[in-house]
Amino acid sequence: MKKIPVPTVNRLSIYLKCFNELLDSNILNVSSSEIAKIIGLNSAQVRKDLAYFGKFGRRGFGYNVSYLKENITKILGTHKNWNVAIIGAGNLGRALTMYKGFLNRGFSIVACFDNDPAKIGWEIDGINIYSIEEIEKIIKKEKIEIAIITTPSSSLSEIINILKKTNIKGILNFAGKHILNEGKIMIRNVDLALELEQLTFLISNKNKIQTEEKGGKNQDNL
Amino acid sequence: MKKIPVPTVNRLSIYLKCFNELLDSNILNVSSSEIAKIIGLNSAQVRKDLAYFGKFGRRGFGYNVSYLKENITKILGTHKNWNVAIIGAGNLGRALTMYKGFLNRGFSIVACFDNDPAKIGWEIDGINIYSIEEIEKIIKKEKIEIAIITTPSSSLSEIINILKKTNIKGILNFAGKHILNEGKIMIRNVDLALELEQLTFLISNKNKIQTEEKGGKNQDNL
């Protein structure tokens, strides 16, 4: 398999959502230009992206949607279910614990952790809140592979040090401080203010952004 | 100004955070290799990124951090304050309304909207919850330019139709359905499950991702 450029990786989930919607509408075959229209790219970029994942398309027949869906699911690693822990039961942690959009995408929130004695022992929507001290034990017991960190940034290094002792494979970091991959643990940083900054950049520079799909009508708003 | 590639745009906020941290530590000048080390790119990529924004660096002196910060803030459009509305006062909407990380990045949440009579008229952390029917009036009155949508995806098209009648310039869309820019309104989609999918992709394909900084030690985990 060829190395995949980051912007293509970023679009895989968008393709997957598109294919799920097509299947919901009983559309079994689709052309690159139809995909392009739905997600706002041009068709050359779509063909280029999908070509990274093998020859899915047949000239004149278009792409088989189920096959594309299955392959992208495997590539994204979401053909299996992942058990997830939320670390930090503040407002954001609680909202993510109750978020209904994770389960049907292959992610089960199975535990929540906090250091506030007033929260420990309670539950959010049926998910137990454990003490930070129990992280190692519960991660092992519940076979948790992903942690979502929603603590203040001041607690981040302490949490990372605890997680390094576990079999956690990836961290989604909402703590507001940008961190790099930690040994074998892959880290993805999510910064909510950054999302707004990227939006104001789009607003302020509508005409200055080089979209990859030169000549495409719609800007790739990823 | 040259057209800016999307991955560079995505990194601007990361640079900005880096420069803020340097200034907090009273570091006034910085080399591309120092920046590279902090944010996990190689220095050639850093020089290439920053070159899009003019000649900020002087050979042998490095970059002036304040000047860089000021320029990137202007480019991102966050040198001014933006008034923001949250549409949807569910768990996520409430968490975002109470989120403390927006204000010091130039974003003030000034109003919240919902269609649930049990919520309308109440407030979250001092922010009023108005009826969806008041969107046009309040957006005008409060000079709101950005809307964060946290409603279910089924309400999305109704909300967009209302927002099209206002002077809203940008939408951050958490509603779970990927939508394209709507007329003059710029849209940035945030999908929380997508963030987890991108993380499991990283976990499952550690060695297959082409980072832009060839030869760089750290993978760009953006």
pLDDT digits (tens, 9 = 90+) for A25-41: 899 888 888 999 888 88
Lowest mean pLDDT of A90-99, B40-49, B168-177, name the range: B40-49
The rounded radius of gyration (Å) of the Cα atoms in chain B is: 20
Contact A200 B1 (CB under 8 A): no
Contact assessment for residue B30 and residue B62, using Cβ atoms and an 8 Å cutoff: yes
Residues A88 and A189 in one domain: yes
Q: Which of A12-16, A153-157, B137-141 has the highest mean pLDDT?
A: B137-141
Q: What is the CATH number of the domain that holds B56?
A: 1.10.10.10
Chosen for mutation from B15, B102, B149, B200 (greatest number of chain A CBs closer than 10 Å) is B200
Contact A78 B12 (CB under 8 A): no
Q: Which residue range forms the structural domain that includes residue A117?
A: 82-195
Q: A178 or A82: whose pLDDT is higher? A: A82
In this prediction, residue A221 carries a pLDDT of 34
Task: State which H helix or E strand residue B163 sits in.
Answer: helix B156-163
Closest CA to B153 of A190, A104, A220: A104
Is B117 a domain residue?
Answer: yes
Residues A130 and A179 in one domain: yes
Is A153 a domain residue?
Answer: yes
Report the alpha-carbon distance of residue A156 to residue A166 in Å, rounded.
Answer: 16
In this prediction, residue A213 carries a pLDDT of 38
Work out the minimum CA distance from A48 to partner chain B, whole angstroms.
15
Q: What is the mean pLDDT of chain B?
A: 86
Range B77-105 burial, b when 16+ CB lie within 10 A, else e? bbeeebebbbbbbbbbbbbbbbbebbeeb
Residues B33 and B115 in one domain: no
Residues B137 and B168 in one domain: yes
Please say which residue of A74, A100, A120 terminates a domain.
Answer: A74
In this prediction, residue B217 carries a pLDDT of 37
Please say which residue of A22, A52, A74 terminates a domain.
Answer: A74
- Provide the token pair at A212: 């990859």
Is B181 a domain residue?
Answer: yes
Residues B52 and B138 in one domain: no
Report the alpha-carbon distance of residue B106 to residue B11 in Å, rounded.
Answer: 18
- A contacts of B208 (beta carbons < 8 Å): 1, 3-4
- B contacts of A146 (beta carbons < 8 Å): 196, 199-200
Is B158 a domain residue?
Answer: yes
Tell me how crowded residue A153 is: count the other CB atoms within 10 A of its CB. 15
Please say which residue of A34, A49, A74 terminates a domain.
Answer: A74
Is A209 a domain residue?
Answer: no
Residues A125 and A36 in one domain: no
Work out the minimum CA distance from A134 to partner chain B, whole angstroms.
23
The sign of the torsion formed by the CA atoms of A62, A65, A71, A76 equals: positive
Nearest to B172 among A9, A186, A195 (CB): A195
Contact B218 A180 (CB under 8 A): yes
B147 touches chain A (CB under 8 A): no
Residues A108 and A40 in one domain: no
Contact A16 B197 (CB under 8 A): yes
Is B14 a domain residue?
Answer: yes
Q: What is the pTM of this model?
A: 0.84
Tell me what the mean pLDDT of segment A198-202 comes to. 91
Residues A34 and A94 in one domain: no
User: Count of A–B CB contacts within 8 Å?
Assistant: 229
Residues B86 and B191 in one domain: yes
Q: Which of A129-143, A203-217, B52-66, B93-107 has the highest mean pLDDT?
A: A129-143
Three-state DSSP at B185 gives strand
- B contacts of A194 (beta carbons < 8 Å): 13-14, 17
Contact assessment for residue B201 and residue A10, using Cβ atoms and an 8 Å cutoff: no
Give the pLDDT band (50/70/90) at residue B1. Answer: low
Nearest to B221 among A17, A146, A189 (CB): A189
Residues A64 and A105 in one domain: no
Give the pLDDT band (50/70/90) at residue A171. Answer: very high
Contact A203 B92 (CB under 8 A): no
Give the pLDDT band (50/70/90) at residue B182. Answer: confident
Work out the minimum CA distance from B147 to partner chain A, whole angstroms.
10
Give me the residue label for tokens 């050639």: B44
Give the number of domains in chain B. Answer: 2
Contact A6 B9 (CB under 8 A): no
Residues A44 and A21 in one domain: yes
Nearest to A78 among B176, B191, B197 (CB): B197
Is A216 a domain residue?
Answer: no
Work out the minimum CA distance from B5 to partner chain A, whole angstroms.
5
Contact B210 A6 (CB under 8 A): yes
Is A203 a domain residue?
Answer: no
Number of H-type helices and E-type strands within chain B? 8, 12
Q: What is the CATH number of the domain that holds A164?
A: 3.40.50.720
Contact A172 B199 (CB under 8 A): yes
Residues A26 and A120 in one domain: no
Task: State which H helix or E strand residue B211 sits in.
Answer: none
Map chain A to HEC letters.
Answer: CCCEEHHHHHHHHHHHHHHHHHHHCCCCEECHHHHHHHHCCCHHHHHHHHHCCCCCEECCCEEEHHHHHHHHHHHHCCCCCEEEEEECCCHHHHHHHHCCCCHHHCEEEEEEEECCCCCCCCEECCEEEEEHHHHHHHHHHCCCCEEEECCCHHHHHHHHHHHCCCCCCEEEECCCCCCCCECCEEEEECCHHHHHHHHHHHHHCCCCEECCCCCCCCCCCC
CA atoms within 13 A of residue B205's CA, in its CB half-sphere: 26
ipTM comes to 0.84
For residue B25, pLDDT beyond 50: yes
